[in-house]
């Protein structure tokens, strides 16, 4: 057995280093690739380290089994896929080697020179360095075109972000291959140009430096400074707590000194951090559940300092021109569990953010004021995109990339889709468009529920629905074919977007492809679901799916005509071919009827269980009365019916239940 990706067949991956992060990297590979029979080696010269790594991995597998994250069969495959060995000969036959050893250039050099003697020219070499440039790590490798840094974040089997850092001689096609490969196995990779510390670690270490400097100035205790950092930046945990949990004092101290030499003089290891390293003491942080109070004056000073530092650090990284702003904005949020910096600055206001950085740089004269902030101030906003637009063989591929919320839609994302379509409308080199989602789990998980929860009146509901519909109507009426490549499940607004496309294809074998879950939450679809689904699969089948909120598999979706076909190979490649066939007229697909459609009479009787009878009345009216109208008038009816949901108690109950208890908990509707 093997895992096949593009032109690569993978049967063995070796991870060298059984310390803190190597076993976690191996565990992620095993979780993703063990079902395909891929062997994951963990190599280390220390038998003791290997035993600890094995115990750690097995403990995490058992925990996943007990929590229900793994089924017993998968847990057994993961365990069997992991091989722990002190014998470097086991590296032979590997298609990928990941080095996760000590942050020492001589050790890394020695490892890769040994690995090169054991592997063929096609083997990919990755170093999980946190700082060192690939030109340094791979300086003695004969074939540098297949080597680059793959920087994981703690904990590596859970944290989704991976920085891919190519060297000067790294093959560009290999970088693109790895971007796709990591996405396919569930990670969120970003490309970063070679620079000491890359893009994200200077931000984390700069925040740690800021915290320690505040401590040295007597602005608060470790507990107080941690608390202020969390409040001001939306951190999951404070910087002192993070250093304790990751054992990060030594690597942060080394990293700060090197950043000061190679990147900017402001970076410097504070004396207290040097002392902590020598004494091996932990920082004095709050215990779980301990509440730390801050005086208003202390909090104001610390918040200003942290926000000034954060905005300055992230803007400075952009000044280095090593990373795309959208990649960086997303990856900071996900890897560091912190507010997305440029979205945060937009929310705070560019003028205020600019002032915070100005003040920070004034009190830290060795911190170079980022020039890019002048451009942002002039523009009045950081321009950010959640849509990745690429051209592939005459087809524009639009990828919705919001991995933190499984590509959920909001009005801003819909606006970006429309803008991208407008950009290619008159481009004769573009024959068709493909819309897909980032990752392997979700095409689009639905509409952003925070946006829906903010609606208060029927008029607001109507306007929200109407705005969503206007964009999807634009997609439906676009002059060029638009194919939806459903890479994962499409819930709610995701399925409504898919249905507005010319045609849909999906990944084969998905047990859950489509669901319109709105009635579970106490409202009805508002972006065309009650009108387009009946026109695609028939009124009775659509009514049953819409009124019960049940899941539809990929197989059933193909059988009832919701998707054109299931695809086994590369979904986007197949979508591009399909879109070109539609554009050329070689393939004809059914279009959605614009006129009234026939029904079998009265609504079918359905058992809806705990679901709201009041909402069911509204959705039945939208479906059946809408079927007697043109699509245009049916959509208008749907918007009015969606607005009517806001008059019900059950919509409030449904949304609050989801917010408090999650999607699996049944709401206690009162049918009013």
- Helix H or strand E segment including 50: helix 47-67
Report how far Cα 162 is from the mean position of its chain's Cα atoms: 11
- Give pLDDT, residue 108: 97
pLDDT tens track for 261-309: 999 999 999 999 999 989 999 999 999 889 999 999 999 999 999 999 9
pLDDT tens track for 148-158: 999 999 999 99
Going by pLDDT thresholds of 50, 70 and 90, the confidence category of residue 247 is confident
- Give pLDDT, residue 663: 82
pLDDT tens track for 212-236: 999 999 999 999 999 999 999 999 9
Residue 565: CB atoms within 10 A of its CB come to 14
CA pair distance 353, 358, nearest whole angstrom: 9
Residue 103: CB atoms within 10 A of its CB come to 16
Rounded percentage of the chain residues whose pLDDT exceeds 70? 100
Tell me the residue ranges of DSSP E strands in 26-77: 39-43
Phi, psi dihedrals of residue 428, rounded to the nearest 5°: -65, -20
pLDDT tens track for 585-609: 999 999 999 999 977 777 888 889 9
CA pair distance 101, 351, nearest whole angstrom: 44
Going by pLDDT thresholds of 50, 70 and 90, the confidence category of residue 562 is very high
- Give pLDDT, residue 448: 80
- Give pLDDT, residue 555: 98
Q: Tell me if residue 515 falls in helix, strand or coil.
A: strand
Going by pLDDT thresholds of 50, 70 and 90, the confidence category of residue 486 is very high
- Give pLDDT, residue 662: 85
Peptide bond into 155 cis (omega under 30): yes
Predicted structure pTM score = 0.93
Q: Tell me if residue 387 falls in helix, strand or coil.
A: strand
CA pair distance 432, 156, nearest whole angstrom: 39
Sheet holding 442-444, edge to edge: 442-444, 489-491, 514-515
**Token duo for residue 337:** 């569990």
How does 272-286 read in b/e, with b if 16+ C-beta sit within 10 Å?
A: ebeebeeeeeebebb
Would strands 3-5 and 387-392 be described as parallel, antiparallel, or unpaired? unpaired
**Mean pLDDT of all residues in 80-101:** 96
CA pair distance 311, 78, nearest whole angstrom: 41
**Token duo for residue 50:** 């290997």
Whether the pLDDT of residue 468 is over 80: the answer is yes
Residue 43 carries which DSSP code? E
444 within 8 A of 491, measured Cβ to Cβ: yes
Q: Point out which residues pair with 4 in neighbouring strands.
A: 9
Q: Tell me if residue 382 falls in helix, strand or coil.
A: coil
**Token duo for residue 35:** 């079902």
Taking every pair of Cα atoms in the chain, the longest distance, rounded to a whole number of angstroms, is 81
Burial class of residue 451 (count of CB atoms within 10 Å of its CB; 0-12, 13-18, 19+): middle
Phi, psi dihedrals of residue 345, rounded to the nearest 5°: -65, -40
Phi, psi dihedrals of residue 608, rounded to the nearest 5°: -105, 5
509 within 8 A of 567, measured Cβ to Cβ: no
Whether the pLDDT of residue 66 is over 80: the answer is yes
pLDDT tens track for 23-39: 999 999 999 999 999 99
pLDDT tens track for 74-85: 999 999 999 999
Torsion angle, CA of 648/649/651/657, rounded to 10 degrees?
180
7 within 8 A of 56, measured Cβ to Cβ: no
The secondary structure of 190-205, three-state, reads EECCCCCCCCCHHHHH
Residue 248 carries which DSSP code? -
Domains of the chain as residue ranges with CATH? 3-191 (3.40.50.720), 201-379 (1.10.1040.50), 387-661 (3.90.226.10)
CA pair distance 367, 400, nearest whole angstrom: 36
- Give pLDDT, residue 638: 97
Closest residue by Cα to residue 616 from 643, 641, 652, 653: 641
Catalytic residue set: 496, 518
Phi, psi dihedrals of residue 441, rounded to the nearest 5°: -90, -50
């Amino acid at each position: 057995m093997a895992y096949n990706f593009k032109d690569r067949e993978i049967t063995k991956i070796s991870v060298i280093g059984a310390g803190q992060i190597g076993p976690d990297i191996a565990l992620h590979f095993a979780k993703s690739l063990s079902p395909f029979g891929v062997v994951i080696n963990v190599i280390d010269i220390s038998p003791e380290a290997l035993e600890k790594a094995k115990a750690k991995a097995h403990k995490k597998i058992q925990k996943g089994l007990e929590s229900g994250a793994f089924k017993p069969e998968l847990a057994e495959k993961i365990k069997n896929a992991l091989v722990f060995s002190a014998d470097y000969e086991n590296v032979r036959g590997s298609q990928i080697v990941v080095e996760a050893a000590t942050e020492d250039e001589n050790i890394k050099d020695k490892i890769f020179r040994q690995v090169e003697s054991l592997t063929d020219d096609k083997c990919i070499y990755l170093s999980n360095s946190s700082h060192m440039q690939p030109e340094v790590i791979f300086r003695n490798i004969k074939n540098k075109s297949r080597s680059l840094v793959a920087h994981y974040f703690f904990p590596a089997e859970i944290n989704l972000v991976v920085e891919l850092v190519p060297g000067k001689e790294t093959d560009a096609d290999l970088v693109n291959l790895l971007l796709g490969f990591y996405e396919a196995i569930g990670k969120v990779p970003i490309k970063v140009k070679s620079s000491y510390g890359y893009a994200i670690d200077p931000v984390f270490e700069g925040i740690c430096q800021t915290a320690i400097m505040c401590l040295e100035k007597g602005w608060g205790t470790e507990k107080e400074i941690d608390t202020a950092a969390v409040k001001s930046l939306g951190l999951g945990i404070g910087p002192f707590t993070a250093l304790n949990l990751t054992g990060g004092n030594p690597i942060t101290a080394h990293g700060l000194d090197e950043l000061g030499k190679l990147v900017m003089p402001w970076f410097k290891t504070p004396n207290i951090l040097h002392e902590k390293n020598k004494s091996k003491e932990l920082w004095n942080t709050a215990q779980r559940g301990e509440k730390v109070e801050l005086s208003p004056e202390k909090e104001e000073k610390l918040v200003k300092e942290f926000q000034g530092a954060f905005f300055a650090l992230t803007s400075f990284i952009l000044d280095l021109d090593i990373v795309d702003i959208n990649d960086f904005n997303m990856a900071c949020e996900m890897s560091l569990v912190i507010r997305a910096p440029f979205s945060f600055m937009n929310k705070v206001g560019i003028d205020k953010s600019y002032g915070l950085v100005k003040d920070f740089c004034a009190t830290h004269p060795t911190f170079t004021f980022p020039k890019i902030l002048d451009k942002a101030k002039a523009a009045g906003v950081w321009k950010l995109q959640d849509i990745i637009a690429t051209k592939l063989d005459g087809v524009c591929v639009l990828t919705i990339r919001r991995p933190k919320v499984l590509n959920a839609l909001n009005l801003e994302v819909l606006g970006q889709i429309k803008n991208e379509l407008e950009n290619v409308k008159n481009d004769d080199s573009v024959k068709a468009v493909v819309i897909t989602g980032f990752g392997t789990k979700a095409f689009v998980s639905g509409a952003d529920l925070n946006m829906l929860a903010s609606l208060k009146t029927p008029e607001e509901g109507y306007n929200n629905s109407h705005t969503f519909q206007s964009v999807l109507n634009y997609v439906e009426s676009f002059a060029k074919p638009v194919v939806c490549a459903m890479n994962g499940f499409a819930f709610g607004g995701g399925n409504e977007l898919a249905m507005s496309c010319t045609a849909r294809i999906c990944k084969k074998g998905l047990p859950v492809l489509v669901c319109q879950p709105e009635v579970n939450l106490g409202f009805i679809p508002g972006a065309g679901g009650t009108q387009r689904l009946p026109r695609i699969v028939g009124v009775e089948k659509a009514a049953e799916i819409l009124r019960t909120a049940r899941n539809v598999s990929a197989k059933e979706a193909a059988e009832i005509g919701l998707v054109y076909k299931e695809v086994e190979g590369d979904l986007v490649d197949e979508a591009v071919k399909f879109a070109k066939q539609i554009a050329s007229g070689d393939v004809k697909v059914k279009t959605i009827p614009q006129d009234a459609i026939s029904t079998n009479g009265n609504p079918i009787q359905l058992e809806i269980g705990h679901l709201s009878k009041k909402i069911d009345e509204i959705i039945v009216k939208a479906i059946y009365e809408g079927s007697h109208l043109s699509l245009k008038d049916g959509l208008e009816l749907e918007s009015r019916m969606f607005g009517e949901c806001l008059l019900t108690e059950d919509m409030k109950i449904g949304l609050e239940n989801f917010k408090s208890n999650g999607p699996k908990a049944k709401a206690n509707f009162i049918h009013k």
